[in-house]
Chains A and B, each alone.
Chain A
Amino acid sequence: MAKKSIDLTVRIGKLKLKNPVMTASGTFGYGDEYAEFIDLNKLGAIVVKGLSLKPKEGNPPPRIVETPSGMLNAIGLQNIGINNFIKKKLPFLRQFNTPIIVNFFGDSIAEYVRAAEKLSASDGVSALEMNISCPNKQAGWSIFGTDPKVTSRIVTEVRKATDRTLIVKLSPNVTDIALMARVAEDAGADAVSLINTLTGMAIDIKTRRPKLANIVGGLSGPAVKPVAVRMVWQCYKAVQIPIIGMGGIVSPEDAIEFILAGASAVAVGTGNFIRPDITINIINGIRSFMETEGIKSINDLKGAVQC
């Protein structure tokens, strides 16, 4: 009875999630490897590994290195491509009563648009998440999501190409993330998700070589959590659309912190690598916290930080 009285449902655009906990892109594959450990029906949503029109080979190894309470990765967006995903992975994911959010990217605006069209024509794709933290071929490989004008253009174009819920995943490697959130909102995004990884570097002091073959990589894990919470809070004050908060969430307490900062939902990323069933522990822990604290709806916690 007690369980029934707690409302964990949240809305992100057209999606209604049974609880606010989803997986972060690139940390959950296409779901199949985790089905052994958790009931995928219990997740708020599954966000799959970022896809491009064509398969991508990714970066040479070493691709990952552990750092204090975190890890750097330079996977290089390796993926099987949208067609293979639709053919080989989506049928498996469709069996579950959980929205599938497809993360995607391209190296030109035209590629993003084409990818969005293709995914929007696929049954079983509930929402799209645009990764704009990748390089733009037509602009000397500068990052799409660090220039407000480019971000505005690319989100506007993708918005025209899809009627699915459109989430824009923001790069934290900017001076003013609230500005980027506003730009995405004005260009028609239904939600923003943040943070993507922070650019970092690690050096082997004996060989004097970078520990990653790609030299730099993206930092994730508990080490980035305070930065991510701060950025969610800044965006919450700047936009009306829902925020999906992520960055180092490994416990229910971490998730609640993000929700208090203004996140409507949260995503668990690196945490999936630590324990494959961590998402379920987080969902259960949020529910127990609410029971103990007498909170009826998860939405009552949203943005409830008192500053």
Chain B
Amino acid sequence: MNRLFHASVAENKQLIKNHYLLTLRPLENIKKPKPGNFFMVAVDNGLDPLLKRPISIHRWLDGDFQLLYRVAGKGTSILGGKKPGDILEILGPLGNGFPLNIKSENIILVAGGLGIAPIFALAELLRKRNPSLFCGARTKNEVLCTDELKDIGIDPVVATDDGSSGKKGNIVNVLKEHIKTSHVTDNILFACGPEPMLKALSTLAEKLNLQGYIALEQHMACGLGTCLGCVVKTTKGYKRVCKEGPVFPIEDILWE
């Protein structure tokens, strides 16, 4: 099983503006990814853009797999133009996924915006343990994967900045209220989302003494741990998001 492989595009569906769900069919046997793992995807064979793009596993479909991504620059806009049958060169699965030997009965998943991409993979795997899912977004149509979540029997708590879906406001505040009123103590958090959300979550986790893990994003060159380009500051020094991460214990991250 080679971690450098080719896959053909089965579908590249635009969900909302700038957000795509890419279904890939590997042309050889690949290693099954764990939630929190990621792939480095070459958007074409040219030299500009030069580097592969790191994208986390969204859904494993028995051989086929899905990536959920946002068009944010040159590389991802080329990816957005891919058609069924196009072949992509891919490296992965890479990185350390979410820890799965969870003892706590109260699993809380938090996704901000596109952070639902890896959190969905975890939710699907843990669905029999009835995790609570909290989804934050700017506005109603940016609340992603609602149908897929319904498929796997998870009904998320939603908050949007403008109140167009779910509660109005910040998902971390919604979560805080939930924890306060639920009187449950052994919660465990798993989160992915924009930095301000993760920062707020780490403050909350510290205050309430919650155990938790977060998946981080960073620019990467190799994805394999050699370029040392994707480090993040932790209590144990600089750690590579591609190798020691992308999932870290929430208390380990030293925010700027």
Contact = CB atoms under 8 A, between A and B. Distances in A.
Q: Do A and B bind each other?
A: yes
Interface of A: 26-29, 33-34, 36-37, 49, 57-58, 60-66, 68-71, 73, 75, 78, 221-222, 250, 270, 272-277
The 6 closest A-B pairs by CB, nearest first: A64-B229, A29-B226, A273-B222, A273-B221, A69-B48, A69-B47
Nearest to B74: A66
30 contacts: A27-B222, A28-B226, A29-B224, A36-B3, A37-B4, A57-B238, A58-B231, A58-B238, A61-B218, A61-B231, A61-B232, A61-B233, A62-B219, A63-B229, A64-B219, A64-B220, A66-B50, A66-B51, A66-B75, A71-B221, A75-B227, A78-B231, A250-B47, A273-B51, A273-B221, A273-B226, A275-B89, A276-B4, A276-B224, A277-B4
Nearest to A66: B51
Contacts of B224: 29, 33-34, 276
Interface in B177-222: 218-222
B60 to A, nearest CB: 21
Contacts of A70: 50
Given A64-B227, A73-B229, A222 B4 contact: no
Contacts of A75: 227-229
Main secondary structure of the interface of B (DSSP, over half): loop
Interface residues of B, number: 29
A60 B48 contact: no
A97 B153 CA distance: 56
B228 A63 contact: yes
B222 A272 contact: yes
Contacts of B49: 66
Most chain-B CB neighbours within 10 Å: which of A33, A34, A273, A276? A273
A27 B226 contact: yes
B221 A275 contact: no
Contacts of A69: 47-48, 50
Nearest to A70: B50
B21 to A, nearest CB: 24
Nearest to A222: B47
